[in-house]
């Protein structure tokens, strides 16, 4: 790790950077708020799951998208992947401490929507 490129924290932490096109936060936000990313994070809040468990739990997700989503969130450091070297293969997914933190935010959002859904639907009809 070279020291040359280390940016000032104050630069990275300033609020409002997210509105800039080139802000790296946007990429992370995209992963986390992606169609399947949200549901996978919420699912993993309940604990470790195997691939096929997640596939069954998250209704409608294809193998491809689940694999892709898991890899992406693993690369971001939100998901921990453990592959047991046995046949048939056995792979477990869980949240890292960081994943659990962001998972709480996402879950909170999802819960709010589920709870307020009747109100939202009523507003839609009234509008």
Partner DNA sequence: CGGAATCCAAGATGATACTG
Partner DNA sequence: CAGTATCATCTTGGATTCCG
Binding site for DNA (CB under 7 A): 30, 34-36, 50-53, 60-65, 67, 70-71, 81, 83, 88-91
* Least distance between its own copies and beta carbon 50 (Å): 16
Sheet of strand 79-84, all strands in order from the earlier edge strand to the far edge: 49-50, 90-95, 79-84
Q: Establish if 32 lies at the interface with its own copies (CB under 8 A).
A: yes
117 interacts with, out of its own copies, DNA, none, CB within 5 to 8 A per kind: its own copies
Question: Of all residues in the chain, what percent are helix, strand and coil, respectively (each to 5)?
Answer: 60, 10, 30
**Residue 23 and residue 72: Cα distance in Å, rounded?**
18
Cβ neighbour number for residue 86 with a 10 Å cutoff = 7
CB of 91 to DNA, least distance (A): 4
Q: For residue 49, what are the β-bridge partners?
A: 93
The contact set with its own copies (CB under 8 A) reads 1, 9, 12-13, 15, 17-21, 23-25, 28-30, 32-35, 38-39, 42-43, 57-60, 74-77, 96, 98, 101-102, 105-106, 108-121, 123-127
């Amino acid at each position: 790790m070279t020291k040359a490129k280390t940016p000032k924290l104050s630069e990275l932490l300033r609020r409002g950077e997210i509105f800039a096109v080139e802000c790296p936060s946007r990429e992370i936000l995209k992963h986390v708020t992606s169609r399947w990313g949200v549901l996978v994070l919420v699912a993993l809040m309940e604990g470790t799951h195997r691939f096929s468990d997640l596939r069954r739990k998250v209704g409608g997700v294809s193998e491809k998208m689940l694999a892709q989503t898991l890899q992406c969130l693993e690369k971001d450091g939100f998901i921990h992947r453990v592959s047991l070297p046995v046949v048939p293969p056995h792979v477990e997914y869980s949240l890292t401490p960081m994943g659990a933190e962001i998972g709480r935010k996402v879950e909170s959002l999802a819960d709010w929507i589920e709870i307020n859904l009747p109100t939202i639907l009523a507003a839609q009809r009234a509008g």
